[in-house]
Structures are given as structure tokens and as C-alpha cells.
Amino acid sequence: MTCDRLVCANCAGPVSEGRCPVCRAHRERLHRESPLGNLSPVTLFTLLLALLAVAFLAQRVAVA
């Protein structure tokens, strides 16, 4: 999740601007999160399928 579209409940401003202490704290928390936390479930599933395909091909090459 990014803070681009989030609106602060405290000051009603965009969180990305960091107008108040609540905005700034939430923005910092979002930036500290894991990069994989920002990916959608569809993207994570696609990455998993790609990893499985690479592992399968590597196994087939190693056997041959």
C-alpha cells in the first residue's frame, strides 16, 4: 500500500504530504514496511508461479 491515496483522519489532508504528526507517523510506518507488503496478491501469485517454472526447468536441465 502506498500513502499517495490515503487521507488523514486527523487533518483531512493527504498522508503523502505529512501535514500533521499523525500523517508523518503513518507515512514513516508505511515506508518502513517490507517491499513485498506492497505487492498485490495477484503479483505475489505470479511471482510464485515464475519461481516454480524456473525451478522445474532447472531440474529438467540438471537431469539431462
Residues in the chain: 64
pTM beyond 0.75: the answer is no
Residue 23: how many CB atoms within 10 A of its CB? 22
- What are the sequence ranges of the domains in the chain? 1-33, 39-64
Q: What is the pLDDT of residues 15-46, one digit of tens each?
A: 888 899 998 998 888 777 766 666 788 988 99
Distance between CA atoms of residues 38 and 26, nearest Å: 15
| Residue 35 DSSP label | G
Q: How far apart are CA 20 and CA 8, in angstroms?
A: 9
